[in-house]
Structure 1
Amino acid sequence: MARRKIVAGNWKMNQTPSQAVKLVEMLKPLVASDEVDVVFCVPAIDIISVVEACKGSNIKVGAENMYFEESGAYTGEISPAMLTDAGVEYVVLGHSERREYFAETDLTVNKKMHKAFEHGITPIMCCGETLEQREQGVTMDFIRQQVKVGFLGITAEQAQKAVIAYEPIWAIGTGKTATTEQAEEVCAGIRQCIREMYDDATAEAIRIQYGGSVNGGNAAELFAQADIDGGLVGGASLKEEFGKIVNYR
């Protein structure tokens, strides 16, 4: 069975609640699709407004981060129960910016993965190498570690529902895009890693996105690859161009 494509927009730290509603209204007709799962991953303060604005459409709403405790003295954090109560169905975990600026580690990502599944939230777990790591020839070693630790203790049944986003750090917001061959090679390597950790069925079910300067011009070629099941889209998700990415055929 062919895996259903999933295209998620990662808004990052952009859009006030009122701006977010206007953006959703503009994008709603452009991202309508029966063939692709569409997710808007939005800043926490925008979630309730965006969930409301997306009602009646094909758009699902995701958060950009989440803490791994149920509640408590964790000033500034957001719990999984808060997200589900607000209508969130997806959460981005371990984005390279979270790892770089906010001390996210493979182990904290793993704790968040467990908590997301406990609450029925689909994690979009990010992995990716720096330019230095690529030049040193350790890309797959590094990414396999991120995947193996991130999925530690996650069952095959859970893993089959997860999404992995491969984002080469050197291609995020730089205008540089991994070549189609580079993107497919790593996504195939991630699928092989899941196969080794679990089994063929899990490897065939899990969806692997490519992220890193995905745009309306390169989406079709990237998404045509055997192991690329969609994209995690940054800057272009805030523009009309996102509609072209969703409807890439």
Structure 2
Amino acid sequence: MIEVLKMRRKLVLGNWKMHGAIGTNAQLLQAIRQHLTTSSLPVDVGVCVPAPYLSQTRDLLTGSDMKWGAQDVSAHAKGAFTGEISAAMLAEFGSQYVIVGHSERRAYHGETADAVGAKARQAIVAGLVPVVCVGETLHERDAGMAEQVVRNQLSDVLAFVGSENPAQIVIAYEPVWAIGTGRSASAADAQAIHAALRACLSEHGEAMNQTRILYGGSIKPNNAHELLTCADIDGALIGGASLVASDFISIIDSASRAASASTVSDEVFDAGVKP
């Protein structure tokens, strides 16, 4: 019998950002749910929605294969922090994921490494999986600092959350210069950064090799397959394309094909057969 190596299951996660309306949310989620119902896919799928829509999302997705979550969380468990939302509150709505340290939060809200680490820790305590975003600016990339910047950002968070359970976190690499610009890192560039992040994780223990690293820089249906077949890219954190059912479904299918091809390759390798 062929023994299949334990693989990191791919994850396709939508980030709606500050978009949505009750009517259009329902149409979008129902279309995606229907696709997952009629297809047996070897990938995990979820959406991170604005907090006011968590209740609607829970009602529409409960009983489906889709997971859901939020786009930010407080660094505090509770208290006099007007306008903030605790991890425990998100968990009450059935959230599984929460995005922390997104480049827009870092840039527009001045989030520091300590703030991102504290948010990730609060998420884990509440039973959520923080999707920890890291990424370099165009200036940092042009200066040859990209790998060091993302390694530092990742190490800062791991100092807060530890590395006992690799399933506690997901990493999302988002080249800042490729978000919302229509530009995307080449597959080779993206793989290089993902490999550097994988090496950084390995330094914190062998178990961390099972931590998933997503690509999150303007991924679209036309570039998804090439990116998702890279060795160290375990899925995608999708912005604008997650708001269009056909685009999101296309990326899910690309991830599924990439996962299936990877499984076949591992089976051939384990059998001692040269591909």
In structure 1, the residue matched to 2:111 is 104
In structure 2, the residue matched to 1:247 is 253
3-state secondary structure, aligned to 1:218:
helix
In structure 2, the residue matched to 1:30 is 35
How many residue pairs get aligned? The number is 247
State whether residues 93 and 125 of structure 1, in contact with CA within 8 Å, keep that contact through their aligned partners in structure 2: yes
3-state secondary structure, aligned to 1:176:
coil
Q: Alpha-carbon deviation of 1:16?
A: 2.1
Identical pairs, percent: 42
State whether residues 31 and 247 of structure 1, in contact with CA within 8 Å, keep that contact through their aligned partners in structure 2: no
Equivalent residue letter for 2:142:
E
Q: Alpha-carbon deviation of 1:31?
A: 4.4
State whether residues 172 and 216 of structure 2, in contact with CA within 8 Å, keep that contact through their aligned partners in structure 1: yes
Alignment gaps of 5+ in structure 1 = none
CA-to-aligned-CA distance 1:110-150 (integer Å, 9 cap, x gap): 00111111111001000000111100111111111100111
In structure 1, the residue matched to 2:273 is none
Alignment gaps of 5+ in structure 2 = 1-5, 258-275
For residues 86 and 160 of structure 1, the distance between their equivalents in structure 2, rounded to whole angstroms, comes to 21
Q: Select 2:211's aligned residue among 186, 206, 210.
A: 206
3-state secondary structure, aligned to 1:151:
helix
In structure 1, the residue matched to 2:141 is 134
Are 1:143 and 2:154 an aligned pair?
Answer: no
Equivalent residue letter for 1:67:
S
Q: Alpha-carbon deviation of 1:161?
A: 3.1
Are 1:238 and 2:227 an aligned pair?
Answer: no
Q: Select 1:194's aligned residue among 182, 189, 201.
A: 201
Equivalent residue letter for 2:180:
G
For residues 113 and 121 of structure 2, the distance between their equivalents in structure 1, rounded to whole angstroms, comes to 13
Q: Select 1:228's aligned residue among 218, 233, 241.
A: 233
3-state secondary structure, aligned to 2:12:
strand
Equivalent residue letter for 1:124:
V
In structure 2, the residue matched to 1:19 is 24
3-state secondary structure, aligned to 1:8:
strand
State whether residues 166 and 207 of structure 2, in contact with CA within 8 Å, keep that contact through their aligned partners in structure 1: no
Which of the pair has more CA radius of gyration? 2
Task: Supply the RMSD in Å over aligned alpha carbons.
Answer: 1.2
Quick check: which one's helix share is greater? 2
CA-to-aligned-CA distance 1:21-42 (integer Å, 9 cap, x gap): 2221122223455311101000
Q: Alpha-carbon deviation of 1:160?
A: 4.0
Are 1:44 and 2:51 an aligned pair?
Answer: yes
Q: Select 1:70's aligned residue among 68, 77, 80.
A: 77
